[in-house]
């Protein structure tokens, strides 16, 4: 039979492991717009998915020189996402396999 202090230590360890696992799935990437154009739509999906996720911009836009933080939270633990940016002049830029586990900042440039 385990003594009380050992049981409490094991419970605390289990809670810490669960918290760390949950935090590992919370990835934040700052998207920078340095294109000279206004970003009007941004979509992403985990790499290999058959469709794009919804547009995170809504009615907002991202001006040249500005940035926004996006959270890539998922319970599956995906790290690789595809990005799709649409600009005011109709330009569409896509980038496959962005590793959001290792990337803190992603730049769209001229």
Q: Under CATH, what is the fold of the domain 26-109?
A: Immunoglobulin-like (2.60.40)
Q: Which of 42, 109, 110, 35 is nearest to 81 (CA)?
A: 42
* 6 DSSP 8-state letter: H
Domain boundaries, given as residue ranges, for the chain: 26-109
pLDDT above 70 for 19: no
Residue 4: in which H helix or E strand, if any? helix 4-24
d(CA 41, CA 93): 11
pLDDT of residue 20: 41
pLDDT of residue 107: 97
Strands 67-73 vs 39-46: parallel, antiparallel or unpaired: unpaired
pLDDT above 80 for 5: no
* 15 DSSP 8-state letter: H
What's the pLDDT tens digit per position in 76-109? 788 999 999 999 999 999 999 999 999 999 999 9
What's the pLDDT tens digit per position in 23-79? 456 689 999 999 999 999 999 999 988 999 999 999 999 999 999 999 987 777 889
pLDDT above 80 for 17: no
pLDDT above 60 for 13: no
* 89 DSSP 8-state letter: T
């Amino acid at each position: 039979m385990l003594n009380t202090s050992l049981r409490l230590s094991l419970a605390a360890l289990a809670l810490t492991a669960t918290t760390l696992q949950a935090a590992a799935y919370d990835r934040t990437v700052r998207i920078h717009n340095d294109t000279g154009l206004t970003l009007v739509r941004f979509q992403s999906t985990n790499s290999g998915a058959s469709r794009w996720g919804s547009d995170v911009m809504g009615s907002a836009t991202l001006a040249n020189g500005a940035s926004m933080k996006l959270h890539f939270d998922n319970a599956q633990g995906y790290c690789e996402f595809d990005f799709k940016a649409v600009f005011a002049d109709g330009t569409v830029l896509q980038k496959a396999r962005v590793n959001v586990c290792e990337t803190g900042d992603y730049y769209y440039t001229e």
